[in-house]
Amino acid sequence: MPLRHILAINPGSTSTKIAVYTNTKVIFLKSIHHSNEDLEKFNSIADQYNYRKEMILEELMNAKIEMDLIEAVVGRGGLLRPIKSGVYVINEKMKEDLQKGILGQHASNLGGLIADDIAKSLPNAKAYIADPVVVDEMNSVAKITGHPEFKRLSIFHALNQKATARSYARLLNKKYEELNLIIAHMGGGISVGAHQKGRVIDVNNGLDGDGPFSPERSGSLPTGQLVDKCFENGSTREHMRSILTGGGGLMAYFGTNSAYQIELQALEGDENSRLIQDAMSYQVAKEIGALATVLRGEVDGIILTGGIANNTMVVEYIKKMVTFIAPVIIYPGEDEMHALAMNGMMVLKGDIKPRTYDVENFVV
């Protein structure tokens, strides 16, 4: 097999991760940290574009990466319009929506923009994104709430959930499209998806919507109390959004979003830390149980992934509640860089055909 070179770019809130792969082997991996002082200089995430791009290029130059060999630059997909799962060629419409932040502002919106700019400066490269958080494969019935002015949205850890599902399928010598899986990604946000034969037919909004609380998100809240809170002491929209995302979950209870710190406190005998950690585990298990009904009990495996899957206490709590449904498999941590690169590799090898970001692939 000829050597293929891929650059993966994954901007996060306080870091930008980059990796260069030769076929399936990583030859360069770097996480560029961005201090609060550096980021505070910018009025918006979009304004960070040149700052982050220049830091990426500097790191690649210092590592003596042969840029002319790169054939695919794969960026982390951002908050775009709801779209079908897959790898997408970055086009002008996508860039316009990323710049606008059509579904919100997030550092991942910069991934496609930077990838496209770098690819255009190279002789043999094309730019792509893969399985952004807005992948929407939900059944119509799953999108109904209880009022026509509200609709459930599919915003979840699509990249890692899909990559983990394919890894497990390979372990079974099967295709992802042959399995029914429930996958819980447990990180700063938590999303739990029902994967039916290659489609995520139901999933909680892991950004700011429903589902389990997490280190930074409040998850589902009692709606009556939430409405009252909106009118309490002159609460602003920004304040209420911060309660839901960023300042919720463990952050609200303990003033830290470090699940590891809460784990240590629980292990040291702190009863409140243990109670709140158990409650988070309980809610994840409860969500898994609900999705088992969506799959009508036909579940080939339950996968726990993300950083919190390293927490033995959380994992054991969930396993005790859900092992009656299906075997529980642990894929601790996340390898989004590998997932981005392997999606690029599938395109270069011709295993999959990249999609176009247009009305044909938009999900209404």
Distance CA 251, CA 275 (A): 15
Q: Which of 11-15, 232-236, 252-256 has the highest mean pLDDT?
A: 252-256
Domains of the chain and any CATH numbers: 5-135+336-356 (3.30.420.40), 158-332 (3.30.420.40)
> Structure pTM?
0.93
Confidence of residue 137 (pLDDT cuts 50, 70, 90): very high
249-266 mean pLDDT:
96
pLDDT of residue 364: 85
**Residue 13 has what pLDDT?**
81
List, for residues 152-177, the tens digit of each pLDDT value: 999 999 999 999 999 999 999 999 99
Structure tokens at 120: 């255009």
Please state, rounded to an integer, the average pLDDT across all residues of the chain.
96
pLDDT of residue 208 exceeding 90: no
| pLDDT (0 to 100) of residue 248 | 96
Kindly state the percentage of the chain with pLDDT values over 70.
100
Closest listed residue to residue 284, CA positions, set 357, 191, 194: 191
Is pLDDT above 90 for 36? no
- Say what the pLDDT of residue 167 is: 94
Which regions of 12-119 does DSSP assign to beta strands (E)?
15-22, 25-33, 70-76, 87-89
% of residues, the chain, pLDDT over 90: 91
Angle at 161 between CA 157 and CA 166, to 5 degrees: 155
What is the token pair recorded at 226?
């939430």
Has residue 234 got a pLDDT over 90? Answer: no
The pLDDT score that the predictor gives to residue 14 is 83
Sheet with strand 328-332: strands edge to edge: 199-203, 190-196, 180-186, 301-306, 328-332
- With DSSP H G I counted as helix, E B as strand and the rest as coil, what are the percentages for the chain, rounded to 5? 40, 20, 35
Span 229-245, average pLDDT:
92
pLDDT digit string (tens) for 280-332?
Answer: 999 999 999 999 999 999 999 999 999 999 999 999 999 999 999 999 999 99
